[in-house]
């Protein structure tokens, strides 16, 4: 399926688009029943065009004015061990809908994802938004077995203040930790029912996490100089607080080290790390059928049952990317 783009054009956002994007972002929040977002024209310029931009943005123009936008940033997929893209916002003005702008924006982001070597595209949708869900069903799939969790405010501050158990050392991983990290990640994948990776897992971790374009940050938990757990995480962006937030992709503790505070200590290390980098909260996903993990997370965070994680990967992503136009 291709979109007829005769009635609109796509381009990369510019700093002067800040006011238009802020207004569309506010309209998106109203449409979803949320509070007014903190994203302003100044925040858009600050966070999207500084020395370390927190996001990229594509603008759809119709009749010479912005009529929609897609905000996205780099992500990672540890299920497939590949670079990915996170779609933070997608919005089309009410009067500009039903002419293909939404799909064209999605396709442009998918094309950018593929051009940058990414293998998946991730985003969230409200369960209570049937119109958006129907549209997104044409380009991706809902991850109905996953629940989004998060911690913010006082809970985030308390998590960052978590003490480290005696005898446990926490530190940010380096390239020298790749063999231990690969062993732990393999344990996580087996624990979650995935087939063993049919490639050099350590090599992929070294390239993706400790090479020229690191896709993630990792913290290691050690006891008596042996790695017993890890947490893999990276920054994302949220227009509600107009700030970076953190996404916790993986947390795993070796069986022999469980029930001794390692998981909580690792989450505390992640919270401290991103608090020091200006993040307002941490979010992550948990399987609906993982009762033990959900019980643990319930002690420090809340579930967001109305949010459905979504993804496009494989042939779905390739097909969508093939529709995309180059964005100058």
CA pair distance 298, 214, nearest whole angstrom: 31
> Nearest CA to 209 among 188, 237, 180?
180
CA distances from 268 to 27, 184, 262, 295 (A): 35, 19, 10, 17
DSSP string, 5-64: -TT-EEEE--GGGHHHHHHHHHHHHHHTTPPPPS--HHHHHHHHSSSS-S-EEEEEEETT
What per-residue confidence (pLDDT) applies to 263?
Answer: 97
CA pair distance 139, 324, nearest whole angstrom: 12
The residues near 23 (Cβ < 8 Å, ≥ 6 apart) are none
Q: What is the pLDDT of residues 240-285, one digit of tens each?
A: 999 999 999 999 999 999 999 999 999 999 999 999 999 989 999 9
Confidence of residue 192 (pLDDT cuts 50, 70, 90): confident
Q: Where are the beta strands (DSSP E) in 93-207?
A: 120-126, 141-142, 146-152, 168-172
Confidence of residue 2 (pLDDT cuts 50, 70, 90): very low
Domains recognised in the chain with CATH numbers: 9-123+311-323 (3.40.630.30), 148-287 (3.40.630.30)
CA pair distance 43, 50, nearest whole angstrom: 10
Cα dihedral 158, 239, 85, 113, rounded to 10, equals: -160
What per-residue confidence (pLDDT) applies to 195?
Answer: 74
Contact 91, 28 (CB under 8 A): yes
CA pair distance 57, 13, nearest whole angstrom: 5
CA pair distance 21, 28, nearest whole angstrom: 10
The model's pTM is: 0.94
Q: What is the rounded average pLDDT for all residues in the chain?
A: 95
What per-residue confidence (pLDDT) applies to 5?
Answer: 60
The DSSP bridge partners found for residue 125 are 308
Confidence of residue 1 (pLDDT cuts 50, 70, 90): very low
Confidence of residue 298 (pLDDT cuts 50, 70, 90): very high
């Amino acid at each position: 399926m291709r979109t007829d783009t005769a009635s609109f054009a796509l381009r990369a956002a510019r700093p002067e688009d800040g006011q238009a994007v802020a207004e569309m972002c506010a309209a998106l929040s109203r449409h979803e029943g949320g509070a007014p977002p903190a994203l302003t024209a100044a925040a858009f310029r600050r966070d999207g065009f500084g020395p370390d931009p927190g996001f990229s943005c594509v603008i759809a123009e119709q009749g010479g004015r912005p009529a929609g936008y897609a905000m996205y940033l780099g992500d990672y997929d540890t299920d497939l061990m590949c670079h990915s893209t996170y779609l933070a916002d997608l919005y089309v003005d009410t009067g500009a809908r039903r002419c293909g702008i939404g799909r064209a924006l999605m396709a442009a982001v998918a094309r950018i994802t593929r051009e940058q070597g990414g293998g998946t595209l991730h985003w969230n949708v409200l369960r209570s938004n049937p119109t958006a869900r129907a549209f997104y069903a044409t380009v991706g799939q809902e991850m109905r077995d996953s629940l989004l969790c998060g911690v913010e405010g006082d809970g985030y501050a308390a998590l960052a203040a978590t003490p480290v158990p005696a005898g446990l050392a926490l530190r940010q991983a380096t390239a020298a930790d790749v063999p231990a990290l690969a062993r732990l990640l393999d344990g996580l994948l087996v624990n979650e029912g995935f087939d063993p990776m049919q490639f050099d897992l350590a090599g992929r971790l070294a390239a993706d996490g400790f090479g020229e374009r690191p896709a993630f940050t990792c913290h290691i938990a050690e006891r008596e100089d042996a790695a017993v757990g890890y947490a893999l995480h990276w920054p994302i962006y949220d227009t509600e607080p107009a700030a970076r937030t953190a996404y916790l992709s993986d947390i795993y503790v070796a069986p022999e080290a469980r029930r001794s505070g390692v998981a909580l200590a690792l989450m505390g290390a992640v919270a401290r790390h991103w608090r020091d980098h200006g993040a307002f909260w941490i979010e992550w996903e948990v399987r609906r059928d993982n009762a033990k993990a959900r019980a643990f997370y319930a002690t420090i965070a809340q579930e967001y049952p109305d949010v459905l994680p979504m993804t496009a990967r494989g042939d779905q992503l390739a097909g969508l990317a093939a529709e995309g136009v180059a964005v100058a």
